[in-house]
Amino acid sequence: MIELDAVSASIAGISVLREISTTIDAGATAAIVGRNGAGKTTMLRVIMGIVAPRSGTVRCAGDDLARVPAHGRSRLGIGYAPEQRVLFPTFTVEENLRLPCEVLRLAPRAIVARRDEVIDIVPELKPMLARSAAALSGGQGKMAALGRALMVGTRVLLLDEPFQGLAPVLAGQYVQSLQRLQQARPGLAILITESNGRLLRDVPTMTLTLERGALTP
């Protein structure tokens, strides 16, 4: 579903990714584990079009993403939950969830159906729907960012350091949501970056290590 072929990328002239090649098939969950600064976030940003690769190719279901602008990648069914959540603070949680689908001009009935499915996967969102995003704790914001990514991530889901800063209870709830997600969307390709691979021990994953910009099994 997502294929990186010899992808290299630089930021401010510094090489961050070096000849990254990997494939995340439909239905697979992959964990990219590495220390801070290893290039994990850059890898997801390349997939999303936020960072342009210096060389190499990124494909989604065979489509060369170089031909798709960053703002158009959600139309391919790619959902992205960045490390810093990036919620609109003046919107309610429900408005944050619905926004990407409204931008894609989905029918209101389809948006409600997706919201209801997301709440089934992440039930902790239900009591938050009417709350302002500005009133959420950091952990609650992570759950809302997961839900928002799921609203459009029907084929591919990218999660950047989802457990960073989560209290143990919320971390456990997040893991349970990922387990429900794997059951609810068996064809979804999921790519998770994480500094501590042990946090994903209860989520079936293929684990790859990113070290100094190079990927190893």
Q: What is the mean pLDDT of residues 8-35?
A: 93
pLDDT in tens, 142-160: 999 999 999 999 999 999 9
CA distance 107 to 5: 36
Cα–Cα nearest to 94, from 78, 68, 112? 112
| 132 secondary structure, DSSP code | B
pLDDT at 91: 96
SS3 readout for 3-38: EEEEEEEEECCEEEEEEEEEEECCCCEEEEECCCCC
H or E element at residue 210: strand 206-211
pLDDT at 85: 76
Phi, psi at 57, each rounded to 5°: -135, 140
**64: CB partners within 8 A, 6+ apart:** 57, 58
Domain locations along the chain? 26-49+69-216
pTM of the model: 0.94
N-terminal to C-terminal alpha carbon distance within the chain: 19
Question: Is the pLDDT assigned to residue 199 strictly greater than 90?
Answer: no
pLDDT at 202: 81
In the numeric block, which tokens belong to residue 129? 């729907």
What share of the chain has pLDDT > 90, as a percent? 75
pLDDT at 204: 72
Q: What is the mean pLDDT of residues 190-211?
A: 86
User: Please, which pLDDT band fits residue 140 given cuts at 50, 70 and 90?
Assistant: very high
| 126 secondary structure, DSSP code | G
Q: What is the mean pLDDT of residues 83-102?
A: 93
Which residue type sits at 34? G
Cβ atoms 113, 134 nearer than 8 A: no
- Among the four given CATH numbers 1.10.1740.110, 3.40.50.300, 3.40.50.12280, 3.40.50.720, the one describing domain 26-49+69-216: 3.40.50.300
CA distance 139 to 78: 23
Output the CA angle 120-174-4, nearest 5 degrees: 100
Cβ atoms 15, 8 nearer than 8 A: yes
pLDDT in tens, 172-194: 999 999 999 999 999 999 999 99
Which residue type sits at 127? P
pLDDT at 97: 97
Neighbours of 42 (CB within 10 A): 23
Cβ atoms 139, 170 nearer than 8 A: yes
